[in-house]
Structure 1
């Protein structure tokens, strides 16, 4: 009888493990030139709010990724040609961004991902049509702006008037793109990329009267996707995180899993600071935050940092290296950090200064603007 029970337990355990690993419903087969080890490909993709990553060594230029997605996924794929590692490939190497779905497709090129051709992906083709409609991706517009700047002579490239003219053209193109996105969203309320268009056009500072009616016109299934849920959260956040609003309450854990609540700071002035270890401007502001914290902590000033990191080691390494003495929390879900989504954060650094009455008294204060505000609150 014991043997039968042990066997039954093993079967149940095996079935439970099998259920945790859904059957793959997409595959990406690639062939990039004739590259071999140490060449390595890396992919990170977001599926319905959950981040996934994988890697593969190239054999005669070939590699393959496969997995399971619940809907349309957004991916970043980087190719390390020389064995320099993932981070070098992502930030200085051969990298592309694309959408894909529950499909089997191929990616081929004679030399690099930058020149890759996609075949077999309906979702990729739809995303390309969308990008063509709106005038290109942000990365394409940035590349065009750099090319525009490069046309100038060395003397012109040092001239502020020339730089301003290039920047003016770039901003005009971005505004035109934004308007095309809104138009695309209005015309495609049943399209996933119509929702993507509206989400991008809404940005971090949502114009609710403009965005809400367009969002309301989308069908329920699209609103139920993570893109839809996140946009709805951002729309809602715009209405509850204004200066004068009571700061939304939240609880999140420290690195050693101790829950910390914003309510713990009742009666104190607290800066809710959103940051990440990989964010250069965030790290550059940390010395000033440290100085202000030391100046005013005995008068009731606190900082509660919410990290949008997804890797615990990198988060803690940055905290230690920057010598940050205040409380740090994170759920290690990157851009899907629950507090970040509650507050509608789409870029870091971002901050909300909360007064002793629990109301927001400042937003995105840093450097001198933060210092002056604290001087007003805590006069000598």
Structure 2
């Protein structure tokens, strides 16, 4: 009887519906948002109209995030900024969950890692993440200057936590930014994101 009950619980857990997320659509207007930044300012997506915007979902304790913050993410942030791209980190971990930090801690983490996002958005209720359908850390989005979504998916093509794989991977976000800057459609506009699941509030 106990074995049957245990098996039923396992099946129920597997069959439990996933957290309901929206699904931002490539070539459609990117979902609007307003958020508090780590340094206490309020920003909206509308503030960046006319500029290319990158959204990067992050969780500093995630092994996949640590992989890319060994230098790759910082390099991409700096290269993007040099091209006038607005790079926004988004932290959607709920209070009490892995990756949740306050603004001061988020700023210190970036300073310690040499990270240079234009801003870090605090999304403890997961409203921005759910509006975009963000699933993992990292999960990446590129928004065109006209406000439409150009790319969503993984930072690159190799879904591992191995630093050595970065140089072997197809750099999806970098390719998307090149296409957007050239006024072209992104060849691979929707790819599979990989990383740790975002720790949303239930």
Q: Partners of 1:316 and 1:299 in 2: how far apart?
A: 23
Q: Is the alpha carbon distance of 1:304 and 1:132 closer, same or farther for their aligned partners in structure 2, counting shifts above 3 Å?
A: closer
Q: CA deviation at 1:128?
A: 4.7
Q: Quick check: which one's helix share is greater?
A: 1
Q: Partners of 1:346 and 1:128 in 2: how far apart?
A: 29
Q: Which has the higher contact order (CA 8 A, sep 6+)?
A: 2
Q: CA deviation at 1:358?
A: 0.5
Q: Say which of 62, 76, 79 aligns to 1:295.
A: 79
- The two structures have a TM-score, normalised by structure 2, of 0.66
Q: Partners of 2:59 and 2:11 in 1: how far apart?
A: 33
Q: Is the alpha carbon distance of 1:130 and 1:247 closer, same or farther for their aligned partners in structure 2, counting shifts above 3 Å?
A: farther
Q: Which residue of 2 aligns with 1:71?
A: none
Q: Which residue of 2 aligns with 1:377?
A: 180
Q: CA deviation at 1:130?
A: 4.1
Q: Is the 8 A contact 1:293 1:303 kept in 2?
A: yes
Given the alignment of the two structures, is residue 274 of structure 1 paired with residue 57 of structure 2, yes or no? yes
Q: Which residue of 2 aligns with 1:315?
A: 106
Q: Which one has the largest radius of gyration?
A: 1
Point out where structure 1 has 5 or more consecutive residues left out of the alignment: 1-126, 138-176, 182-196, 200-229
Number of matched pairs: 157
Q: Is the alpha carbon distance of 1:277 and 1:296 closer, same or farther for their aligned partners in structure 2, counting shifts above 3 Å?
A: closer
Any idea what the Cα deviations from partners look like across 1:283-333, whole Å, max 9, x if unmatched?
Answer: 3224323223333424331211111342326533321222222211104x2
- The two structures have a TM-score, normalised by structure 1, of 0.37
Q: Which residue of 2 aligns with 1:34?
A: none
Q: What are the equivalent positions in structure 2 for 1:88-103 lying under 5 Å apart?
A: none
Q: Which residue of 2 aligns with 1:42?
A: none
Q: Say which of 117, 131, 140 aligns to 1:342.
A: 131
Q: Is the alpha carbon distance of 1:298 and 1:280 closer, same or farther for their aligned partners in structure 2, counting shifts above 3 Å?
A: same
Q: Is the 8 A contact 1:243 1:361 kept in 2?
A: yes
CA-atom RMSD in angstroms: 2.7
Point out where structure 2 has 5 or more consecutive residues left out of the alignment: 93-98, 157-170, 183-202
Any idea what the Cα deviations from partners look like across 1:140-189, whole Å, max 9, x if unmatched?
Answer: xxxxxxxxxxxxxxxxxxxxxxxxxxxxxxxxxxxxx5xxx2xxxxxxxx
Q: Which residue of 2 aligns with 1:133?
A: 11
